C-alpha cells in the first residue's frame, strides 16, 4: 500500500490486556467519547557567543500518556482504578423506607418493609413528620422476615415512620477501595482509521502501547441535571525492550484488503 496524507476523526477502540509475559484480555472498550495520545519531553540548550544564542540542543525525559474520556463505564474500569478485583456474591446493603405504622393484632405496633432486615440491632425506626425524622429511635422488640415490631410512646398506629436497616442481597458485585490498592500494569491495543485525503478512503491504523498504568486520580459525578458524568482515564505509558530498543509502542497503518 502507498502512504498518504491523513486526517483523524474517529474513536480509538481499545483492547485492554493484563500485562505479563502472555497478556490476557481484560476488556474491549469501544464506547469512549474520545482519546488523546500525548508525548512530552524536556529540551535544554547550550548557549554561547555574542548575544547568548542557542548553540546545541539536548533532549531527554520523554514521557507519554493516553487519556480516554467516557460517559459509559463498567465495574471493571472502577476495579482497575481501585487496584482491587470485583468480588461477587452475597452482601449486606443499607436501605431506608418511609412506611405507615400498623397494629400487630395485639395492641402493639409494627411496620412491614420491602426487604427483610438482618437483625434488630441494625434496624432503626423514627417518627416521620413534615418530611423529616424526629425524636429518638423506637425500641425494636422483634424482627421476623420483613415485619418489625417496636414500642415507642410518641408513635401511634397510622403514623408515618422512617426506617433505616440493612438487608442481605444474594447477588452483588463490589469493589473495595483500600488504602494500599493502586492500578496495576496493562497492555493497550487501539484500533482506529485515518482518512486519506488524496485516495479518498479510510485507512486502518493500530496503536500498540506495550505497558501502561492508569493514574489513580479520577472523579465520578452524580448529578440530576446537565450532561452525564464523564470518567477521565489517564494511562501513563512505560517503555519495554523491543528489538534491543526501549519502546513505548508502535503505530501500524495497514491494508485490510
pLDDT for 18-63, tens place per residue? 999 999 999 999 999 999 999 999 999 999 999 999 999 999 999 9
Reported as a pLDDT band with limits 50, 70 and 90, residue 256 is confident
Q: Does domain 89-173 have CATH number 3.40.50?
A: no
Question: What per-residue confidence (pLDDT) applies to 12?
Answer: 97
- Each residue of 95-127: pLDDT tens digit? 999 999 999 998 899 999 999 999 999 999 999
Tell me the mean pLDDT in the region 135-143: 96
257 pLDDT higher than 80:
no
Evaluated on CA atoms 103, 105, 107, 113, the torsion sign reads negative
Q: What is the structure's pLDDT at 107?
A: 87
In whole angstroms, give the CA distance from residue 233 to residue 256. Answer: 30
Q: Where are the domains of the chain?
A: 6-41+55-86+175-253, 89-173
Q: Residues 189-200: what's their mean pLDDT?
A: 96
Arithmetic mean of pLDDT over the chain: 96
Return all residues near 67 (Cβ < 8 A) that are at least 6 apart: 35, 36, 38, 232, 233, 234, 235
Largest CA distance in the chain: 104
Helix (H, G, I), strand (E, B) or coil at 94: strand
User: Three-state DSSP class for 29?
Assistant: strand
* Nearest to 207, CA basis, from 5, 24, 36: 36
Domains 6-41+55-86+175-253 and 89-173 share a fold: no
Tell me which of 4.10.240, 3.30.43, 2.30.110, 2.60.40 is the CATH number of domain 6-41+55-86+175-253: 2.30.110
For residue 177, count CB atoms less than 10 angstroms from its CB and return exposed for 0-12, middle for 13-18, buried for 19 or more.
Answer: exposed
Do the beta carbons of residue 62 and residue 39 sit within 8 Å?
Answer: yes
Nearest to 165 by CA among 104, 114, 89: 114
pLDDT in tens, 171-183: 999 999 999 999 9
CA 138 to chain CA mean position, Å = 39
Distances (CA, A) of 170 to 91, 92, 94, 145: 7, 9, 14, 15
CA 220, CA 129: separation in Å to the nearest integer? Answer: 34
pLDDT-derived band at 130 (thresholds 50, 70, 90) equals: very high
Instruction: Calculate what percentage of the chain has a pLDDT beyond 70.
Output: 100
Residue 38, pLDDT score: 97
Q: Which of 150, 136, 141 is nearest to 99 (CA)?
A: 150
Percent of the chain surpassing pLDDT 90: 97
Amino acid at each position: 500500500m502507498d502512504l498518504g496524507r491523513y486526517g483523524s476523526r474517529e474513536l480509538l477502540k481499545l483492547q485492554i490486556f493484563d500485562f505479563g509475559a502472555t497478556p490476557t484480555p481484560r476488556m474491549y472498550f469501544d464506547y469512549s467519547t474520545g482519546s488523546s495520545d500525548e508525548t512530552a519531553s524536556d529540551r535544554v540548550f547550550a548557549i554561547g557567543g555574542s548575544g547568548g544564542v542557542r548553540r546545541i540542543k539536548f533532549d531527554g525525559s520523554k514521557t507519554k500518556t493516553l487519556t480516554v474520556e467516557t460517559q459509559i463505564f463498567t465495574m471493571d474500569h472502577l476495579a482497575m482504578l481501585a487496584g482491587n478485583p470485583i468480588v461477587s456474591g452475597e452482601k449486606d446493603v443499607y436501605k431506608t423506607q418511609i412506611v405507615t405504622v400498623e397494629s400487630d393484632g395485639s395492641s402493639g405496633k409494627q411496620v412491614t418493609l420491602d426487604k427483610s432486615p438482618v437483625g434488630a440491632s441494625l434496624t432503626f425506626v423514627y417518627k416521620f413528620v413534615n418530611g423529616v425524622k424526629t425524636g429518638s429511635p423506637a425500641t425494636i422488640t422483634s424482627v421476623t422476615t420483613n415485619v418489625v415490631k417496636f414500642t415507642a410512646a410518641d408513635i401511634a398506629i397510622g403514623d408515618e415512620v422512617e426506617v433505616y436497616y440493612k438487608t442481605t442481597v444474594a447477588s452483588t458485585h463490589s469493589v473495595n477501595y483500600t488504602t494500599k490498592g493502586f492500578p496495576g500494569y496493562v497492555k493497550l491495543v487501539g484500533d482506529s482509521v485515518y482518512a486519506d485525503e488524496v485516495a479518498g478512503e479510510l485507512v486502518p491504523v493500530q496503536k500498540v502501547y506495550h505497558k501502561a498504568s492508569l493514574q489513580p486520580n479520577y472523579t465520578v459525578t452524580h448529578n440530576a441535571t446537565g450532561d452525564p458524568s464523564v470518567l477521565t482515564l489517564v494511562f501513563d505509558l512505560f517503555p519495554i525492550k523491543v528489538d534491543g530498543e526501549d519502546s513505548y509502542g508502535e503505530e501500524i497503518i495497514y491494508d485490510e484488503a
